[in-house]
């Protein structure tokens, strides 16, 4: 590939470039290492086994009402808690013990109506009724609120004042949200929105879409400060013409959580710009010990997006949540829209509500997700909702204070891969609490300088398109990584995912990066002669 072709390639999105590199790697190498993806290579087994077991129970229970070959009836709610109890073989089956622990926890701790909860769980898994209520099932909302509180709020008690909308992964939550913000004139073409960069590519790409024509204000992470955003950057947000702030926290690709200074700063910012809408994507929150979401600091201004994909190895399930406080500025701003705009907006929702002006924003998001007309059949499929509930319960039932063995194991796995990688490269490890270690950013120019000196770095930076290193790494060395530029980093930054390769691969990746850098260096030495 020549330099012009490489330059053209750089214009593509980060994920598109990555799939091209994958093709190059496959062509030349029988064995290649793809550390470009964020998809984890582990799964949570406990919740999945419980899902299967409860499916079995649900079918037996359904056969009580009609039983004609493969055709069965519906379960009966009355007495179902006792029937499930009798079905469980706790002595011989650890999964049944988990289900028993769920029954105890939900009745003793959460005080859920026993038959009502088991009926929702069983029917939900069987999947025989439309999701009702459509935004999220009743007991599911209580349990999932507890889960978010326990994992993300760092002790703040917001479970009871938070409302949820279950979505097809974090992806759908993002798409639905952008759409409803625009439909309700909360963001309008030309509005200023702020984002922390570098950031997960869709957040850079969506605002540029013609529909929104938003003006971005960037809060840059500082590579010299281990990719933390300096608190002073947040002063930009005091400008009231900035309508919204979109953040990924902990960040992707830098994998750092906001520290206490930043959280305090945000509180101060919201005092000065009280209408600031904050959207926080906390998909990686559980990878940081003592994580605290922005939502728990400024709950009325913040909308939270969560996904089960990464922690539980469940990307194929498509499990996400959109959470917001019952008291929130999104609803308030809708009330404060100019009369003519309000009339237009009310008209839109009058199809589904006789008092559309009272329809909360979160319900509008649910309605918009099915083009309003199909609001009555909106909502995440009930088996998906119950899978979310079961993942959440693996945490709630066994979380002893703040510890959860499964979460500890996940942190151990990515942490070990991280240390293998940085040791192999000879980079100093950042073991500070805010490092989620799910991804690592490597400054390839800095690495070149550290290993072979400033002159070599200059030559290396000047003589090749910035994507050249990544292309050669995939084509010649069989290692696929991601370009940071697509996420909004300066050039020369590459992202390694600690999520998706066998643990021993991370030393190999370091070796291959070192080997390729040496190739460039030898070329440089030959030229100098
Ligand atoms: C992976 C990822 C998502 C996507 O989550 P899904 O639930 O799989 O759709 C959203 N946001 C960020 C920052 C991610 O890294």
Residue 208: per-residue pLDDT: 62
Residue 207: per-residue pLDDT: 66
- pLDDT confidence bin for 8, thresholds 50/70/90: confident
Q: What ligand 1 atom has the least distance to the C-alpha of 319?
A: 7
Q: Whose CA is nearest to atom 10 of ligand 1?
A: 170
Q: What ligand 1 atom has the least distance to the C-alpha of 174?
A: 10
Alpha-carbon gap, residue 337 to 39, rounded angstroms: 41
Q: Residue 253 burial (CB < 10 Å; 0-12/13-18/19+)?
A: buried
Bond from prior residue into 133 cis (ω within 30 degrees of 0): yes
pTM for the model: 0.94
Instruction: Show the tokens assigned to 172.
Output: 């759908």
Reported as a single tens digit per residue, the pLDDT across 483-506 is 888 888 888 999 999 999 998 999
Cα 118 to chain centroid, rounded: 29
Residue 64: per-residue pLDDT: 97
Query: Which one, of 389, 326, 317, lies nearest residue 363 by Cα?
Result: 326
Reported as a single tens digit per residue, the pLDDT across 320-368 is 999 999 999 999 999 999 999 999 999 999 988 889 999 999 999 999 9
A 10 A CB-CB count for 111 gives: 9
Residue 353: per-residue pLDDT: 85
Alpha-carbon gap, residue 230 to 258, rounded angstroms: 10
Mean pLDDT of the chain: 93
277 three-state secondary structure: strand
Specify the length of the chain in residues: 529
| Contact status, residue 249 vs residue 229, Cβ threshold 8 Å | no
CA 457 to ligand 1 center in whole angstroms: 35
Residue 528: per-residue pLDDT: 85
CA 246 to ligand 1 center in whole angstroms: 14
Alpha-carbon gap, residue 320 to 169, rounded angstroms: 4
CA 41 to ligand 1 center in whole angstroms: 15
Residue 529: per-residue pLDDT: 81
Alpha-carbon gap, residue 296 to 300, rounded angstroms: 9
- pLDDT confidence bin for 62, thresholds 50/70/90: very high
Alpha-carbon gap, residue 429 to 420, rounded angstroms: 10
Query: What average pLDDT score do residues 110-123 get?
Result: 98
Alpha-carbon gap, residue 445 to 454, rounded angstroms: 9
Q: Which helix (H) or strand (E) holds 402?
A: none
A 10 A CB-CB count for 512 gives: 19
CA 307 to ligand 1 center in whole angstroms: 6
A 10 A CB-CB count for 186 gives: 20
Indicate whether 210 pLDDT > 70: no
Reported as a single tens digit per residue, the pLDDT across 143-163 is 999 999 999 999 999 999 999
Q: How far apart are the first and last CA of the chain?
A: 26
195 three-state secondary structure: strand
Query: Which one, of 105, 116, 120, 121, lies nearest residue 53 by Cα?
Result: 121
CA 500 to ligand 1 center in whole angstroms: 15
Q: Whose CA is nearest to atom 14 of ligand 1?
A: 283
A 10 A CB-CB count for 84 gives: 24
Residue 29: per-residue pLDDT: 66
Query: What average pLDDT score do residues 18-37 get?
Result: 80
Q: What ligand 1 atom has the least distance to the C-alpha of 171?
A: 9
| Contact status, residue 394 vs residue 47, Cβ threshold 8 Å | yes
Indicate whether 198 pLDDT > 90: no
Alpha-carbon gap, residue 517 to 455, rounded angstroms: 14
Residues near ligand 1 with C-beta < 6 Å? 38, 169-171, 200, 248, 252, 281, 283, 307, 309, 315, 320
Indicate whether 268 pLDDT > 70: yes
Alpha-carbon gap, residue 508 to 407, rounded angstroms: 26
For 260, how many CA atoms within 13 A lie in the half-sphere containing its CB?
Answer: 4
Residue 453: per-residue pLDDT: 97
CA 171 to ligand 1 center in whole angstroms: 6
Q: What ligand 1 atom has the least distance to the C-alpha of 307?
A: 7
- pLDDT confidence bin for 307, thresholds 50/70/90: very high
Q: Whose CA is nearest to atom 5 of ligand 1?
A: 170
| Contact status, residue 505 vs residue 511, Cβ threshold 8 Å | no
Instruction: Show the tokens assigned to 107.
Output: 């009745």
CA 251 to ligand 1 center in whole angstroms: 11
Reported as a single tens digit per residue, the pLDDT across 377-406 is 899 999 999 999 999 999 999 987 668 999
């Amino acid at each position: 590939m020549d330099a012009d072709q490489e330059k053209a390639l750089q214009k593509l999105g980060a994920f598109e470039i990555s799939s091209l590199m994958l093709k190059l790697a496959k062509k030349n190498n029988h064995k290649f290492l793809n550390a470009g993806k964020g998809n984890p290579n582990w799964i949570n087994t406990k919740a999945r086994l419980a899902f299967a077991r409860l499916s079995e129970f649900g079918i037996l229970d359904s056969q009580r009402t009609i039983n004609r070959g493969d055709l069965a009836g519906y379960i009966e709610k009355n007495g179902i808690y006792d029937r499930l109890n009798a079905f469980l073989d706790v002595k011989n089956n650890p999964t049944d013990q988990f289900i028993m622990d769920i029954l105890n926890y939900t009745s003793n701790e959460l005080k859920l109506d026993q038959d009502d909860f088991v009926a929702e769980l069983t029917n939900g898994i069987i999947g025989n009724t439309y999701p009702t209520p459509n935004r999220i099932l009743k007991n599911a909302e209580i349990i999932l609120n507890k889960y978010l509180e326990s994992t993300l709020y760092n002790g703040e008690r917001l479970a009871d004042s938070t409302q949820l909308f279950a979505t097809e992964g974090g992806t759908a939550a993002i798409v639905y949200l952008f759409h409803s913000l625009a439909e309700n004139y909360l963001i309008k073409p030309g509005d200023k929105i702020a984002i922390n960069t570098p950031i997960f590519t869709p957040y850079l790409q969506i605002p540029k879409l013609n529909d929104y024509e938003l003006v971005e204000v960037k809060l840059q992470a500082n590579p010299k400060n281990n990719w933390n955003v300096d608190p002073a950057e947040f002063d930009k947000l005091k400008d009231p013409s900035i309508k919204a702030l979109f953040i990924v926290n902990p960040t992707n690709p830098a994998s750092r959580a906001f520290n206490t200074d930043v959280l305090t700063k945000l509180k101060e910012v919201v005092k000065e710009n009280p209408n600031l809408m904050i959207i926080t994507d906390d998909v990686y929150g559980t990878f940081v010990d003592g994580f605290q979401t922005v939502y728990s600091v400024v709950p009325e201004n913040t909308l939270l997006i969560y996904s089960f994909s990464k922690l539980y190895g469940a990307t194929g399930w498509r499990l996400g949540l959109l959470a917001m406080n019952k008291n929130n500025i999104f609803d308030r701003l809708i009330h404060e829209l100019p009369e003519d705009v309000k009339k237009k907006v009310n008209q839109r929702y009058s199809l589904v509500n006789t008092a559309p002006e009272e329809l909360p924003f979160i319900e509008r998001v649910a309605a918009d997700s099915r083009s309003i007309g199909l609001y009555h059949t909106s909502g995440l499929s009930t088996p998906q909702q119950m899978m979310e509930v079961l993942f959440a319960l693996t945490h709630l039932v066994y979380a002893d204070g703040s510890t959860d063995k499964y979460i500890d194991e996940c942190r151990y796995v990515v942490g070990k891969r991280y240390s293998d990688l940085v040791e192999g490269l000879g980079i100093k490890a950042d073991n500070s609490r805010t490092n989620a270690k799910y991804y690592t950013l490597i400054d390839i120019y800095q690495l070149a300088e550290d290993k072979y000196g400033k002159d070599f770095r200059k030559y290396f930076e000047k003589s090749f398109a910035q994507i050249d290193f990544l292309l050669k790494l995939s084509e010649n060395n069989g290692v696929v990584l991601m370009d940071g530029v697509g996420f909004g980093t300066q050039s020369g930054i590459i992202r390694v995912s600690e999520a998706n390769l066998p643990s021993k691969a991370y030393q190999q990746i370091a070796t291959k990066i070192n080997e390729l850098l040496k190739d460039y260096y030898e070329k440089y030495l030959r030229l100098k002669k």
